[in-house]
């Protein structure tokens, strides 16, 4: 069979037609990041001569420094607040208001926070793990904000995708207007109306904990003090795995650091659940039938998980995806801002 | 700000087509996305100087970035569709699929510049003059690169049984 120019055109058109789900919106953010990187490189090149001069000057002046002066500025990504329990920079934001206290002195504390963005975060952390019968509750101007056990890990609460305004409305927030944040440590009593029957009862005096709570205002990615890349990244396979039925997965080790991949599945009434794990800073945009439905942002080189929210057919329709149970859907994951292939994503059946 | 809006709008509405061109060059969708984003980021810095139709400029940046240094991945293609049942009479449709796979593989063995010329001429449907402008070469060079690419395909061992007819535009 002879091949003609037409066959050549047909082969090229045929191959190009098998394009994965369009991620034009995510591409805008990815290109923006690359533009910023190019700008920083250009600025660094221009100021290199100045840096060299300064290094020479400080090197000379260092000869005359007090040899007993051991103070040195702590790198931004290592600075702590709230009794040294929380990082100054966390989750893409800077702590602008915080408190810390010890439970042998008091059971609650308040601080004033002025939100400048609806995407603010609140984090808390304890110096050791609380038992299940104890919990920390946080209210904002008297309205419930977050609650849960407190341990040596950082617990962070932020608005879910597309719900920033709804959260602000629920809390009665207005940007620029201060709010009162109350942190309270409670001991749950078995048999109370809010206590599951199988919750263990803590008998005896409450142990002494130090608790730190901070409110973070989001920063631009360009200004955020990312920690330096470690020599070796943590294993991407070490992250948590849900027990829900696996429907498909996308791994940056296959698609590339800022690559994208899709999972096609049939939507059931249980919905779908996205579970992501990352060991590098970056963002992953999640789409369903090309409509963005969530964005997971990672800010450290420590393994971090993201997910758990179940997207039922109703939830997807509220996010602008016109689907119903039984429809075939295409779930997309697109990485951006990653310098390493350090993320993986799973689509699981909702529970 | 207006420039930024125009740029973002271009990325949202027009970049998908350029992604297809990037794929035909890199032969990998992930690499194609990387190449496209690199080209778009480079194009941003010239955006204020471009006229109302920036797509030719972005295409130029994309192809030249590819041709100058982009790495290309070699991997075997796997069929994504089930083959039709064989027919009792008429041409064997599976043979046509095999021919196209072989042609796609052969295209991947071309040198980068020749592959870029083939993609611009036969997918983007550019004239010799337009192709020369994209690649920053003369029309004579485009003609010779096209001829060399077709000659290589003609001599490709996997396509040796399927001579390419000389066609021109």
Q: Give domain limits for chain A.
A: 7-63, 76-218, 246-349
Residue A223 confidence (pLDDT): 87
| pLDDT tens-place string over residues A280-302 | 999 999 999 999 998 999 999 98
Among A1-10, A228-237, B10-19, the range scoring the smallest mean pLDDT is A1-10
pLDDT single digits (tens) A188-216: 655 554 444 444 444 556 678 899 999 99
Residue with the larger pLDDT of the pair A32 and B18: B18
Helices marked H in chain A: 5-17, 24-46, 48-62, 164-171, 252-255, 313-318
Does ipTM come in above 0.90? no
Proportion of chain B above pLDDT 70, given as a percent: 75
User: What's the pLDDT at A146?
Assistant: 83
CA distance B82 to chain A (A): 15
Q: Is the pLDDT of residue A2 over 70?
A: no
**Does A161 score more than 80 pLDDT?**
no
Q: Residue B167 and residue A5: Cβ atoms within 8 Å?
A: yes
Measured in whole angstroms, how far is the alpha carbon of residue A270 from the centre of its chain? 25
Contact between chains at B163 and A3 (C-beta distance less than 8 A): yes
Measure CB to CB from residue A4 to each of B40, B100, B167 and give the nearest one: B167
A326 is written with which tokens?
């039984």
The verdict on a CB contact (< 8 Å) between B19 and A19 is yes
Residue of A nearest to B115 (CA): A12
Residue A250 to residue A253: CA distance in whole angstroms: 9
Beta strands in chain A (DSSP E): 80-81, 86-87, 89-90, 93-102, 108-113, 121-126, 134-140, 143-148, 155-157, 179-187, 210-218, 246-251, 260-266, 272-278, 282-288, 291-298, 304-311, 328-336, 343-349
Q: Do domains A76-218 and A246-349 have the same CATH topology?
A: yes
Decide if A188 contacts A195 (C-beta within 8 A). Answer: yes
Q: For residue A207, what pLDDT is reported?
A: 76
Q: Whole-angstrom Cα distance, residue A218 to residue A116?
A: 9
- Per-residue pLDDT at A208: 84
Could you tell me the pLDDT band of residue A93, with boundaries at 50, 70 and 90?
A: very high
Q: What's the rounded mean pLDDT across residues A78-101?
A: 92
For the ranges A33-42, A66-75, A94-103, A242-251, the lowest mean pLDDT is seen at A66-75
pLDDT (0 to 100) of residue B124: 92
Q: What is the pLDDT of residue A203?
A: 53
Instruction: Please tell me the class of the A76-218 domain.
Output: mainly beta
User: How much is the pLDDT for A43?
Assistant: 66
Average model confidence (pLDDT) for chain A?
A: 82
Residue of B105, A211, B21 lying closest to B40 (CA atoms): B21
Q: Which of A148, A113, A145 lies closest to A131 in space, CA to CA?
A: A148
| Average pLDDT, integer, range A34-49 | 66
pLDDT of residue A49: 43
Token pair 């002066």: residue: A69
State both tokens at B152. 């290589």
pLDDT top residue among A142 and A134 = A142
Q: What percent of chain A has pLDDT over 90?
A: 39
How many Å separate Cα B89 from the centre of its chain? 36
Give the number of A-B residue pairs with CB atoms closer than 8 Å.
112
pLDDT confidence of residue A199: 42
Read off the pLDDT band of A64 (50, 70, 90). Answer: very low
pLDDT at site A3: 63
Q: Which positions in chain B touch A40 (Cβ < 8 Å)?
A: none
CATH for A246-349?
2.60.120
Q: Are A69 and A190 in contact (CB under 8 A)?
A: no
CB within 8 Å: B12 and A13:
no
Q: In this structure, what token pair is assigned to residue B105?
A: 């593989």
- List the one residue out of B17, B16, B22 whose CA is nearest residue B39: B22
CA distance B55 to chain A (A): 15
Per-residue pLDDT tens digits for A300-314: 998 888 876 778 898
Position A238 scores a pLDDT of 78
Query: What CA–CA distances, in Å, run from A168 to A111, A161, A225?
Result: 18, 13, 27
CB contact under 8 Å between B34 and A258, yes or no, is: yes
Mean pLDDT by 10 residues, chain B (169 residues): 78 88 88 87 86 87 76 37 38 56 88 90 93 90 92 79 44
pLDDT value of position B154? 83
What pLDDT shows up at residue B101? 83
Tell me how far apart the alpha carbons of residues B158 and A149 are, in angstroms, rounded to a whole number. 65
């Amino acid at each position: 069979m002879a091949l003609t120019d037409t066959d050549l055109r047909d082969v090229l058109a045929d191959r190009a037609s098998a394009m994965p789900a369009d991620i034009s919106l995510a591409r805008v953010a990815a290109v923006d990041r690359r533009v910023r990187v190019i700008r920083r490189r250009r600025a660094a090149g221009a100021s290199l001569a100045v840096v060299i001069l300064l290094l020479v000057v400080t090197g000379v002046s260092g000869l005359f420094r007090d040899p007993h002066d051991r103070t040195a500025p702590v790198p931004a990504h290592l600075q702590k607040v709230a009794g040294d329990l929380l990082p100054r920079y966390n989750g893409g934001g800077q702590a602008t208001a915080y408190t810390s206290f010890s439970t042998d002195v008091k059971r609650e504390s308040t601080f004033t926070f002025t939100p400048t963005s609806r995407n603010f975060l609140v984090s808390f952390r304890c110096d050791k793990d609380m038992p299940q019968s104890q919990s920390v509750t946080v209210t904002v101007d008297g309205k419930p904000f977050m609650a849960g056990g407190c341990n040596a890990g950082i617990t962070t609460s932020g608005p879910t995708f597309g719900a920033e305004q709804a959260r602000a409305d629920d809390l009665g927030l207005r940007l620029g207007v201060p709010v009162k944040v109350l942190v309270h440590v409670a001991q749950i009593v078995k048999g109370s109306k809010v206590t599951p029957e199988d919750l263990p009862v803590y008998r005896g005096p409450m142990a002494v904990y130090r608790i730190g709570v901070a409110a973070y205002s989001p920063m631009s990615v360009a200004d955020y003090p990312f920690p330096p890349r470690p020599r070796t990244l943590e294993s991407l396979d070490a992250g948590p795995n849900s027990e829900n039925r696996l429907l498909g997965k996308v791994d940056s080790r296959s698609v590339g650091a800022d690559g994208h991949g899709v999972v096609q599945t049939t939507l059931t009434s249980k919905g779908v659940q996205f579970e992501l794990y990352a060991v590098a800073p970056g963002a992953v945009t999640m789409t369903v039938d090309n409509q963005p439905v969530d964005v997971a942002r990672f800010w450290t080189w420590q393994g971090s998980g993201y997910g758990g929210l179940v997207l039922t057919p109703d939830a997807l329709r509220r996010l602008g995806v016109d689907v119903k149970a039984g429809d075939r859907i295409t779930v997309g994951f697109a990485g951006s801002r990653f310098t390493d292939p350090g993320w993986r994503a799973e689509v699981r059946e909702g529970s | 700000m207006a420039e930024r809006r125009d740029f973002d709008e271009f990325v949202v509405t027009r970049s998908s087509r350029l992604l297809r061109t990037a794929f035909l060059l890199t032969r990998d969708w992930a690499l194609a996305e990387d190449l496209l984003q690199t080209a778009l980021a480079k194009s941003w810095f010239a955006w204020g100087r471009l006229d109302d139709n920036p797509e030719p400029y972005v295409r130029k940046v994309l192809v030249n970035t590819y041709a100058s240094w982009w790495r290309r991945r070699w991997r075997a293609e796997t069929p994504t569709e089930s083959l039709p049942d064989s027919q009792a009479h008429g041409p064997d449709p599976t043979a046509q699929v095999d021919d196209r796979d072989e042609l796609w593989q052969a295209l991947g063995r071309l040198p980068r510049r020749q592959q870029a010329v083939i993609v611009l001429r036969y997918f983007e449907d550019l004239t010799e003059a337009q192709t020369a402008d994209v690649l920053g070469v003369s029309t004579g060079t485009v003609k010779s690169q096209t001829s060399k690419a077709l000659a290589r395909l003609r001599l490709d061992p996997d396509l040796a049984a399927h001579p390419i007819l000389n066609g021109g535009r």
